[in-house]
Structure 1
Amino acid sequence: MRISVICVGRVKEQYLRDAIAEYSKRLGRYCKLDIIEVADEKTPEHASEGVERQIRAKEGGRIAKHIRPDAYVIALAIDGTMLSSEGLAAHINQLGLHGESHIQLIIGGSIGLDDAILRRADYRLSFSKMTFPHQLMRVILLEQLYRAYKINAGEPYHK
């Protein structure tokens, strides 16, 4: 299985980069992982909804260039479906059983994802009703993907 994580912005903090590198290395046993970063837009403080919509559209255009037509696209969205770790593992397993060989997971920028990207997604996944920094979300997502593969392999880790 090929997993691509498409995300807005660069991770600046070394401790987060280290965690991303560690989970990327661990995932290498189970899948081919690509992390694709697209440039983020500066969001002015107290930006109007119109300005935020324009920013999401610009970032969305950059994301769209990397979405493969043959990929199963999962957008991380606060209004998406919440799954347990076992539920995510089962979802990934089912995708593989149904012939999906490429999953693309999309993490938006600090103000979320463009509506066009959300419409293109085959599935919307929510990790919580809480808001997380998008750089930290990358670490959380990779950890949960690693956990899902361990669960599906029947290996200890998920407790």
Structure 2
Amino acid sequence: MQNIDLICLGKLNAPYFAAGVAEYQKRLSAFCNFRIIELPEASLADKNASEAQIEKALQKEGKAILSNLRKGSYLAALCVEGKQFSSEELAALLAQRANSGAGDITFVIGSSHGLAPEVKQAAQAKLSMGRITMPHQLARLVLTEQIYRACTINAGMKYHK
């Protein structure tokens, strides 16, 4: 069974997002070994942090992200400059990874400041959820649902209409 990881910076603190993610996480257990790894956001002492402070925080987060990757896992980073994928394209990516013999894939959602350059450079794919801005908690719910949808597409189920 394929291992699919989702590394996220920060916790889900809104119960409605947590309930939605938990539902899709439960559904995904029929298709893959899905786990969510929550890492703490690097704290910034000042709301008006300088670029240097933000860069230092991103480097700290980047090290934590990269150290939590399964060995040999395909890394897909969610970032604004990434490619927009359709549900079918995401399904094809999951299927291609599963059929490659090295099927592990890790998606990563960064903090409110984005992702460290080191994480983006390590990523084999950069994905975008579109040109809109959304809270990271909502992005986690949407991505979890899309992973579930991709699995149902690959299984030939009627969930995807």
TM-score in terms of structure 2 length:
0.94
AA aligned to 1:8 is L
- What is aligned with 1:126? 128
Quote the Cα distance in structure 2 between the aligned partners of 1:136 and 1:42. 21
Pair 1:101 & 2:103 matched: yes
- What is aligned with 2:35? 34
Quote the Cα distance in structure 2 between the aligned partners of 1:46 and 1:130. 24
Q: What's the RMSD between the two structures over aligned residues?
A: 1.2
| Residues 67-98 of structure 1: per-residue CA shift (max 9 Å, x gap) | 12311111111111111111111111112222
**Secondary structure, in 3 states, of the residue corresponding to 1:46?**
coil
Quote the Cα distance in structure 1 between the aligned partners of 2:147 and 2:136. 16
**Secondary structure, in 3 states, of the residue corresponding to 2:71?**
coil
**Secondary structure, in 3 states, of the residue corresponding to 1:155?**
coil
Aligned residues: 159
Quote the Cα distance in structure 2 between the aligned partners of 1:100 and 1:85. 22
Unaligned runs of 5+ in 2: none
Deviation for aligned residue 1:46: 2.7
- What is aligned with 2:55? 53
Deviation for aligned residue 1:20: 0.9
Greater Cα shift, 126-135 or 39-48: 39-48
- What is aligned with 1:69? 71
AA aligned to 1:16 is F
Q: Which runs of 4+ in 1 moved over 3 A?
A: none
TM-score in terms of structure 1 length:
0.95
Quote the Cα distance in structure 2 between the aligned partners of 1:146 and 1:25. 10
AA aligned to 2:144 is L
Unaligned runs of 5+ in 1: none
Contact 2:97/2:104, CA 8 A, preserved across alignment: no
